[in-house]
A and B are shown apart, each in its own frame.
Chain A
């Protein structure tokens, strides 16, 4: 069973609108991730992107009328929590080591 979505009145808002908003938020998040230099801000942007995707999932779940989308969102949120804890721990350690979280100043991966 994928579970049927709790019954609600037909959507007053066209789902396309949600999709557009979701993608826009995603784009904004991407811009943030690409433009920011503060690791934390980048991380924030990524969180935003994830949520944008969540919105899309919810929309599709609503459109399909089953629960699968919601379940995925549930998992995404949980994974985001794990990711946040580890990521932030990394930043803390990083900051201790180099007194900065500017990703451009942390460029050890180069030749």
Chain B
């Protein structure tokens, strides 16, 4: 979709949502709630992608991540019935605090680096391809420049499917 007017407002809301629910995801004890928080975060990210002129990716994100992967998570969580797992206190303070420190430090450094990073060739002028042709362009790229990666990926998916099947298959019976 073309960038909405009031981009900034949308961005602010979306980012608040995303970050807030990401934090919630971490804080939550019950896995199911974490999953749900993550879903919201993903929606925020989807909005970002739309703003960044990648609607296809946005929908893909909702479709694949929110729609499939996280549902799979939910399915597994419910299957193993992890909801009621007693959330006892973390008996490793060092790990805890160091972890926090590491996360914050890395986040700080990365964002700093990202900000400092020279903007690649500055902003391009509004490009030539009309938005409607985004998907055909992606398709063409997939089957030209990225063909090898694409094929490899398809093979990877096949292997993953087989592997998952074998792993979760009970022996005997």
Assess A/B contact in the complex (Cβ within 8 A): yes
B-binding residues in A (CB < 8 A)? 1-13, 15-32, 34-38, 40-41, 43-45, 47-48, 51, 54-56, 58-67, 70-71, 73-75, 77-86, 88-93, 95-96, 101, 104
Query: Does more than half of chain B's interface fall in helix, strand or loop, or is it mixed?
Result: helix
Does B82 count as interface, using CB distance less than 8 angstroms? yes
Chain A residues whose C-beta falls within 8 Å of the C-beta of B134 in the assembled complex:
6
User: In angstroms, how far is the closest chain A Cβ from the Cβ of B121?
Assistant: 7
B111 touches A23 (CB 8 A): yes
Question: Once the chains are docked, how many angstroms separate the CA of A80 from the CA of B45?
Answer: 16
Given contacts A3-B138, A4-B124, A13-B7, 4 further A-B contacts (CB under 8 A): A44-B25, A58-B49, A81-B64, A91-B80
Chain B residues whose C-beta falls within 8 Å of the C-beta of A67 in the assembled complex:
137-138, 141
The tally of CB-CB contacts under 8 A between chains A and B is 273
Question: Once the chains are docked, how many angstroms separate the CA of A84 from the CA of B7?
Answer: 33
A101 touches B102 (CB 8 A): no
With A5-B53, A81-B64 already in contact, the answer to whether A47 and B137 are too (CB < 8 A) is: no
With A25-B19, A37-B90, A38-B85 already in contact, the answer to whether A9 and B3 are too (CB < 8 A) is: yes
Question: Once the chains are docked, how many angstroms separate the CA of A26 from the CA of B18?
Answer: 11
Chain B residues whose C-beta falls within 8 Å of the C-beta of A101 in the assembled complex:
80, 82
B110 touches A26 (CB 8 A): yes
A-binding residues in B (CB < 8 A)? 2-3, 7-8, 11, 15, 18-19, 22-23, 25-26, 31, 34-35, 38, 41-42, 45, 48-49, 51-54, 56-57, 60-61, 64-65, 68-70, 72-73, 76-77, 79-80, 82, 85, 90, 92, 95-96, 98-100, 102-104, 106-108, 110-111, 114-115, 119-121, 123-134, 137-138, 140-142, 144-146, 149, 153, 156-157, 159-161, 163-165, 167-168, 170
The one of A5, A16, A34, A91 that contacts B127, using a Cβ cutoff of 8 Å: A5
Chain A residues whose C-beta falls within 8 Å of the C-beta of B61 in the assembled complex:
51, 54, 77
Listed by A's residue number, 18 A-B pairs whose Cβ atoms lie within 8 Å are A3-B137, A7-B130, A15-B123, A21-B19, A23-B110, A24-B19, A25-B18, A59-B52, A62-B54, A70-B56, A71-B138, A75-B146, A78-B157, A80-B69, A83-B160, A86-B163, A89-B168, A92-B167
